[in-house]
């Protein structure tokens, strides 16, 4: 079903549409249940910097508006993550060598609200140490002041780009063409 919002050509900016598209979009299996806290990277800290996420308990509980604590959200299976941090961080320095481009690793936390919808709580963008600069991490949250709202929208755009890239490179190309196609050709040759 396609939702049409007559008179609101910027509906795609809204957080509820961002969350809806994570479920209805190209890569819904990327959403995972958060089972442990704090969030940590599995990448080598000597190469990629500190493993701990910059997303704090205080920040998440503030964004959940007092509905529950992080511990309660985890135990009640209400906290979810889209984690492209470890997947994209190793490529950040190579991509950033191309003039006019950038790439970050990302983590997106979503909360399953009492009405059964997902709500984005925070997006962390991370750049590993490079060019003599230390690791860079910043957490973006939904907000409404003129500068922060655009930073939040840009953070969501990075996550959407990660979703699309993962879908095209891993789900579609690697799993479909590189793996399944080989078996199809083999079976065709075997039974022809």
Higher model confidence: residue 41 or residue 171?
41
Residue 1 has pLDDT above 60, yes or no: no
What's the structural domain count of the chain? 1
Percent of the residues in the chain that have a pLDDT greater than 90, as a whole number? 51
- For 89-120, write each residue's pLDDT tens digit: 998 888 988 999 888 999 999 999 998 889 99
Domain with 29 in it: what CATH number?
3.10.450.60
Q: What is the mean pLDDT of residues 47-76?
A: 95
Which region, left, alpha or beta, applies to residue 186 given φ > 0 means left and ψ of -120 to 50 means alpha?
A: alpha
How far apart CA 43 and CA 76 sit, in angstroms, is: 29
| Residue 5 in domain | no
Which pLDDT does position 171 carry in this prediction?
A: 62
In a domain? residue 3: no
1 falls within a domain = no
Q: Which domain holds residue 100?
A: 12-191
The verdict on residue 77 lying in a domain is yes
In a domain, 4, yes or no: no
| Domain-located, residue 83 | yes
Identify whether 7 is part of a domain: no
């Amino acid at each position: 079903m396609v939702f049409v919002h007559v008179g609101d050509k910027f509906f795609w900016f809204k957080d509820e549409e961002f969350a809806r598209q994570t479920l209805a979009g190209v890569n819904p299996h990327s959403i995972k249940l958060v089972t442990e806290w704090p969030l940590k990277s599995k990448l080598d800290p000597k190469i990629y910097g500190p493993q701990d996420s910059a997303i704090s308990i205080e920040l998440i509980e503030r964004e959940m508006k007092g509905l529950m604590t992080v511990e309660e959200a985890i135990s009640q299976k209400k906290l979810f993550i889209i984690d492209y941090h470890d997947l994209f961080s190793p490529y950040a320095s190579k991509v950033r060598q191309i003039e006019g481009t950038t790439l970050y690793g990302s983590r997106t936390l979503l909360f399953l609200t009492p009405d059964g919808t997902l709500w984005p709580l925070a997006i962390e963008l991370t750049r590993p140490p490079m060019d003599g600069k230390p690791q860079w991490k910043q957490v973006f949250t939904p907000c409404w002041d003129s500068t922060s709202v655009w930073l939040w929208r840009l953070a969501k755009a990075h996550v959407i780009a990660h979703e699309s890239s993962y879908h095209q490179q891993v789900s579609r190309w690697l799993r479909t063409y590189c793996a399944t196609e080989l078996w199809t050709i083999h079976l065709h040759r075997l039974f022809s």
